[in-house]
Amino acid sequence: MMQRPLADISAEASRLLSEMAVREAPARLIGGLGVAAHDHVPVPPSLIREFADIDLVVSRKAGRSTTRALGELGYTANARFNALHGSKRLLFYDMTNQRQLDVFVGEFAMCHRLDLDGRLNHHALALSAADLLLTKLQIVQLNHKDVLDAARLLLNHELSDDDGDRPGVDCLSNERILSVTASDWGWHTTLSENLAKVAHGLPKGLAEREATVVVRRAEVLLEVMVAAPKSARWKARAIVGRRKAWYELPEEVAGSSKPEPTTTDPERTTSG
């Protein structure tokens, strides 16, 4: 029998993770709910925000089982969008609670591409802290919620060379960040600029001690990125520099609206 999504978005996210695992479609949270799953210390009120939608990541091999599972769990597929883009992204709707469900398949691609296949086992509920930070800070046109989420991750996680494979380890991995930025000048440039934006865009209500932690960790991460050895491809692209665009701007995708004949809502350009 088809189930119905829960009204409470956090409870619904937990239900989805549990039920999808049973249905051989394991998923991890991304977006704001994914960031919240990494809270290890009390979160300052100024960094807390509401969540409008649920965003998930699944492996490439789980695309079909994901579609089947979400149908059983009470979600309506955007058939047109999924037929066109389902190898990388799927859209579903919780019609009862008027919420959108984005499912990223094996990667997260907005201004840059982040390969996530094989990265779903670093945390029980969400992507790793480093992967979440990369999803948040790959957006060139950074918005306020991205700044809040990035600051929340930096406040909650010490930087470490450990990539979080050992049980009980949950830190923000320098190694993962460098695996992306040390071989790609564009990634390095966008992430560097956005780390600075986070450090300078913290909410005024954040206590000085907490702001200092966030700013210092952003600075240290940037220092690690600058000091890391770069690939030949990175160096070649650096010569071209800003004379050529180093990022993509997410495009609106036709057919990404809710499945109602007269509705044409544009696709959101960042995860929730």
To the question of pTM greater than 0.85 for the whole model, the response is: yes
Average pLDDT score over residue span 76-96? 96
Torsion on CA atoms 18, 19, 23, 25, rounded to nearest 10: -60
Q: Where are the alpha helices (DSSP H) in 98-231?
A: 129-136, 144-156, 174-181, 185-200, 208-227
Torsion on CA atoms 16, 18, 21, 26, rounded to nearest 10: 50
272 three-state secondary structure: coil
Predicted local distance difference test score (pLDDT) of residue 5? 97
Q: Is the pLDDT of residue 154 over 70?
A: yes
What are the structure tokens assigned to 33, written together? 């709910």
Task: Tell me whether strands 76-77 and 89-94 are parallel, antiparallel or unpaired.
Answer: antiparallel
Predicted local distance difference test score (pLDDT) of residue 161? 86
pLDDT (tens digit per residue) in 237-268: 999 999 999 999 886 543 344 554 333 333 44
So where are the chain's domains? 9-243
Taking CA atoms, 37 is separated from 7, 84, 85, 245, in Å, by: 19, 31, 28, 34
Q: Residue 164: which pLDDT band, with cuts at 50, 70 and 90?
A: low
Q: Which H/E stretch holds residue 242?
A: none
Predicted local distance difference test score (pLDDT) of residue 28? 98
Mean pLDDT of the chain: 90
Q: Residue 1: which pLDDT band, with cuts at 50, 70 and 90?
A: low
Q: Residue 134: which pLDDT band, with cuts at 50, 70 and 90?
A: very high
Give the integer Cα–Cα distance in Å for 128 and 171. Answer: 8
What are the structure tokens assigned to 133, written together? 């930070």
Predicted local distance difference test score (pLDDT) of residue 91? 97
Q: What one-letter code names the amino acid at 236?
A: A
